A and B are shown apart, each in its own frame.
Chain A
Amino acid sequence: MSRKFLSGNEAFAEGIRLARPQVISAYPITPQTIVVERLSEMVEDGSLSAEYVHVESEHSALSCAIGASAAGARAFTATSSQGLLYMAECLYYAAGGRFPIVMMNADRSTALPWNIYGDQRDSLSQLDSGWIQSYAENAQEALDLALMSYRIAEDSRVQTPYMANLDGFVLTHTYETVDIPTREQADRFLPPYETDNRIDFENPKNMAFSAGPDTNYIFKYKAHKGLLAAAEVITETEKEFADIFGRHYTGLTENYLTDDADYIIVTLGSIAGLCRETADKLRGQGIKAGVVRIRYMRPFPNEEIAAVLKNVKAYAVLEKDISFGNEGTVFTNVNSALKKAGADVRGYNFIGGLGGRNISAADIEKIYTDIANGTDAVNFIGIGGGNNGK
C-alpha cells in the first residue's frame, strides 16, 4: 500500500489502473477531464496495458466500450453532464445487452443556462437506463468503488453496467490523502473478466439482436432481476474488500447516528460530511439528529431506508436535483420506499446546490429546524417552498 495526495478524479484513475481495463474509450469534458488524462498517461508510460481510444464524441465513447465488452474485454469510459446526455441512447444499449462496462460520471449541471459546476441532475435523469448507480462521498471511496465496480458489474448474477458518480469539482477536484492498494492485493481481489456474452469465432453467436413483443419483456424482467441482484453482490464484494484491504463499507446506505434519531436528513454524495457535522452540533444541543447517506441509487435501498425512517418524527431529503413539475427524484424514491413499508412519517424535500451553488452548514441546520417545525413539502434552499402543501 502507498499513500498519495490525490483529487477525486486522480483517485478514481488509480483505482481503474488497478482494475486493469483492456479498453478505455473516452471524450474529455469538464469536470471529468482529469480522470481520462491520468489514464491516458498511464497507458503511455506502460503502467496500464490498455487500448486507449480517443473517440470523437460521448456517443462514440460508450458505443466503443460496448463493442469492446461484446468482444469480451473489460471496458472503461467516463463522462459528465451534457456528455452523459449525449450518450443516453447507448446507456440503454449497454444495459439491455448486459455489458458490464464501468463508467465514471462527474456529476455536473445540465444546460441551459450553461454551467460547468456540480449538481446531480445529469445522472439522476438516467436512473431508468438500467445501470447500477453509486454516489461516492470522498476520494478514498471513489478509488475503492473503481476497484469494486467491476467485481459487482461482472458478477454472473448481475451482468449490468456500473455508473460511478462523483460530485463535480467538490469531489473531482479537491485533494485528500488516499491509500492506494498494491497491485498484488488488487489482482487477488479482482480476477480477469470472463463471460459467454461475447463474440466467439469458434462458437458463432447472434449478439445485440432484436426481440419482438412475445419475448422483449422477458429480457427486461431479467435485466431488472440482474440489477436487483447487485444488492447482495455489493454486500459480498464489500466483505471481501474489507478482508483484503481493511476498509469497510456499508452497502447501499451509510447511517450516522440513526438508531435513536428523531430527525434525519437523507442525502447522497459529498454533502453528507457537512450533514454529519451538523448532526453532531445539534446532538450537542440535545436534538437527536441523524444522517442517511444513500451510496447506491440503483439498486435502490428500499428496505434499508424504510427501516431507519419509519421510527423518526420527520425526515428531509436533501438533493442536488429537481424533476421539474414535481419534486426531487430522490425524494420520490425515498417516499416510495416508506409507502411500500407501510410507514407514515412526515417527509420534506430540500433542493439545493443546483449549478454548483454552495450549501452551507447554516442551511443544513435550518433543514433540521424546518422539518421539526413543519414546512412546505418541497423547498428550494434560500428561495422558498413549493405550493403543494405542508
Chain B
Amino acid sequence: MRPYVREKTGFTFEEVPENTCFEAGYLTTVNSGWRSIRPVINAVECVGCEQCYLYCPDGVIAIQGGKAVIDYDFCKGCGICAKICKIGAIEMEAERK
C-alpha cells in the first residue's frame, strides 16, 4: 500500500508539529523536484512481466490489469525500469513542466 499525496504548502505555526512525527500520508513536495526525465510505458507492448516492478528502487511501479503503471508523484526518474525492460516497452522522455 502506498501513501497518497496531499500536497500542501503554507503551514501555519500551529500546524507545524512539536517534533518530527506526523500523521502518515503527507507529501509536501511531489517527487522532491528531482526528475529531469521520466519513464513512459508503452501499454500496447508491455506484457506485465513485473521485471520493472521488481527492479524499481523506489517501489513506484504497480501492475494493474496486467500492465505496468508508474506513480509519478514518487518516481525520481532514474531510468532503471527502462534499462531492465527486455522488450523495450519503456522510454525515457524529457520532463515537461
Contact = CB atoms under 8 A, between A and B. Distances in A.
Given A206-B26, A212-B28, A198 B21 contact: yes
Interface stretch (B6-14, B76-84, B85-93): B6-14
B20 interface: yes
B18 interface: yes
B13 A218 contact: yes
A214 B9 contact: yes
A159 B19 CA distance: 8
A98 interface: yes
Contacts of A207: 20-21
B11 A214 contact: yes
Contacts of A96: 20
B95 interface: no
A98 B21 CA distance: 9
B19 A206 contact: no
Interface in A164-218: 196-198, 203-209, 211-212, 214-215, 218
A196 B10 contact: no
Interface residues of A, number: 22
A211 B22 CA distance: 12
Interface in B15-37: 16, 18-26, 28-29
Contacts of A5: none
Interface in A232-281: none
Contacts of A8: none
B43 to A, nearest CB: 32
Looking at chain B, what size class is its interface with the partner chain? 10 to 19
A222 B18 contact: yes
Contacts of A355: none
B26 A98 contact: no
A301 interface: no
B16 A206 contact: no
A320 to B, nearest CB: 34
Contacts of A196: 21
A197 to B, nearest CB: 5
Nearest to B12: A218
Q: Which of A196, A209, A226 has the most CB of B within 10 A?
A: A209
A206 B22 contact: yes
A206 B10 contact: no
A353 interface: no
Given A212-B29, A218-B11, A218-B13, A226 B21 contact: no
Contact of B19 (A197, A203, A214, A215): A197
Contact of B22 (A159, A209, A226): A209
A206 B29 contact: no
Nearest to A196: B21
Given A212-B29, A214-B9, A214-B11, A222 B16 contact: yes
13 contacts: A97-B19, A98-B19, A159-B18, A197-B18, A198-B21, A206-B22, A206-B26, A207-B21, A208-B20, A209-B20, A211-B20, A219-B16, A222-B16
Closest 4 pairs between A and B when the two form their complex, measured CB to CB: A98-B19, A204-B24, A218-B16, A197-B21
